[in-house]
Every structure is written in C-alpha cells, then in structure tokens.
A and B are shown apart, each in its own frame.
Chain A
Amino acid sequence: GQQLNQSPQSMFIQEGEDVSMNCTSSSIFNTWLWYKQDPGEGPVLLIALYKAGELTSNGRLTAQFGITRKDSFLNISASIPSDVGIYFCAGQLGNTDKLIFGTGTRLQVFP
C-alpha cells in the first residue's frame, strides 16, 4: 500500500532543544496534517497544510508542505516536557479523501 516514510523513528532530547522531523513519500499528497498522540489517547491535530510550499506556525511548532507535494517537515522549538509523545504526519492522497499516516516519531524530552 501507499507509504509515508517518517523519520526519525525516535528522539531523546534535552528540554530547550529544537526538534525536527519529516515525512517523505513517492506519492503526491494534496493535504499534509501533523498529529500528536499522548499515551492512551487518540491523535490530536497540531498543524494542517493545504498548499505546496506553505509554511505554517502554531506557537512553537512550524511545519512546511514541500514544493514537490511529496514531503513535509515539522519543527518544534525550545522543547518542553509536555512535548513528549508520538508525532505522526498524515497525507491526503491524490484525488480521494483517503488519509494515510506515517510510522510516527516518538519524542522524549529530559529536564
């Protein structure tokens, strides 16, 4: 099936550091969404991107929709302990409403 390659798989960082993660695919996506999942909960949307080249911020989070429409990145600046969780990218594939997810990046933040 279609795949989104997300990296890194996990990150262990110190509080205050910046974080970067990305997703790539061989397929073209119309929409990119970035989600965060806390333990025992469903994923919650962080940032949505709708146009190629779009750069969007939400507080300490910044995400970009790649020009080729095949990739996206998420940056978190000045990480804090509550940033801990699993981050997923998701893309809307082609001309359908099918939403495909990446494999996730597990983030641990140490004080």
Chain B
Amino acid sequence: DVKVTQSSRYLVKRTGEKVFLECVQDMDHENMFWYRQDPGLGLRLIYFSYDVKMKEKGDIPEGYSVSREKKERFSLILESASTNQTSMYLCASSLSLFDMNTEAFFGQGTRLTVV
C-alpha cells in the first residue's frame, strides 16, 4: 500500500525557533512536494524536489528551506518560525507526472501553530 508519512500531526512552536517537518515515502518516487494549506487559498507549493539533492522553489519559498539527502525523505525547514507560518503543511510524492496513470500521494498533514 502506498504510504506518505509526516512525522507529526500537530506541532506548537515559539516564534524564532528552527522547525523541522519531516516526510517519508515508501514508494521509491522521484518527486516530493511541500505545500501549505490556508483557508480560501488552497494548496500553495513551497518547494518541490525531483531527485536527491535537487530542489526547485515553488510559489511561496520565502522563510523556508528544504533538504533531500535520501530519495525517501524530504524535510521542510523553517529557519526562524514566525506567526504567519501557522498553517497546515502537506507533503506529497509522485513518480514523474509525464508517465500516464501516475498521481501525487499525500501525507495526512502537519498542523503547525507558531506562538
């Protein structure tokens, strides 16, 4: 069974803390994505990785960085958390979307609150 696992369902962090959100997939997918979800704004792409050590900025990369040292793991890092980064964070993975019959699979989400 396909599985994307995010390390925490809920996190509360203080302003200025360095925060790590971890995502692991067991499907040997090339692509991994980090999105944040806010009411009325849908899912906005933060960063995307298409291979180990390879990354591309999404629409809202400011204040975030990512790390992909191994194919199965994609980490989102908030260097200095701020209250406007309070949100639901969703990780996804996929094979190449140029292959027919592929799709992106999502983790269950991490709800981060920065106080």
Interface set of A (CB-CB < 8 Å, partner B): 1-2, 4, 6, 9, 30-31, 33, 35, 40-45, 48, 50, 88, 90, 92, 96-104
Closest 10 A-B residue pairs measured CB to CB?
A1-B59, A42-B106, A103-B42, A101-B43, A92-B97, A45-B103, A104-B42, A97-B97, A97-B31, A101-B42
Could you list 27 A-B pairs, sorted by A, with CB under 8 Å? A1-B58, A6-B42, A9-B40, A35-B106, A42-B4, A42-B92, A42-B108, A43-B43, A43-B90, A45-B103, A45-B104, A45-B105, A88-B42, A96-B50, A97-B30, A97-B94, A97-B98, A98-B48, A98-B58, A99-B45, A99-B48, A99-B92, A99-B94, A102-B42, A103-B42, A104-B40, A104-B42
Interface set of B (CB-CB < 8 Å, partner A): 4, 30-31, 33, 35, 40-45, 48, 50, 56, 58-60, 90, 92, 94, 96-98, 100-109
> By the criterion CB–CB under 8 Å, are A99 and B33 in contact?
yes
Output the nearest chain A residue to B45 by Cβ-Cβ distance.
Answer: A100
A74 and B106 alpha carbons, distance in the complex (Å):
20
> By the criterion CB–CB under 8 Å, are A1 and B60 in contact?
yes
Given the known inter-chain contacts A98-B48, A101-B45, A104-B42, please indicate yes or no for A42 contacting B56, CB distance below 8 A.
no
Given the known inter-chain contacts A101-B42, A103-B42, please indicate yes or no for A2 contacting B97, CB distance below 8 A.
no
A53 and B48 alpha carbons, distance in the complex (Å):
28
A20 to B: closest C-beta gap in Å: 18
Q: Which residues of B contact A31 (CB under 8 A)?
A: 97
Q: Which residues of A contact B45 (CB under 8 A)?
A: 1, 98-101
> By the criterion CB–CB under 8 Å, are B48 and A42 in contact?
no
A46 to B: closest C-beta gap in Å: 10
A9 to B: closest C-beta gap in Å: 7
B109 to A: closest C-beta gap in Å: 5
Output the nearest chain B residue to A3 by Cβ-Cβ distance.
Answer: B59
Output the nearest chain A residue to B31 by Cβ-Cβ distance.
Answer: A97
Output the nearest chain B residue to A101 by Cβ-Cβ distance.
Answer: B43
Q: In the complex, which of the residues B4, B97, B107 contacts A99, with contact meaning CB atoms closer than 8 Å?
A: B97
> By the criterion CB–CB under 8 Å, are B104 and A99 in contact?
yes
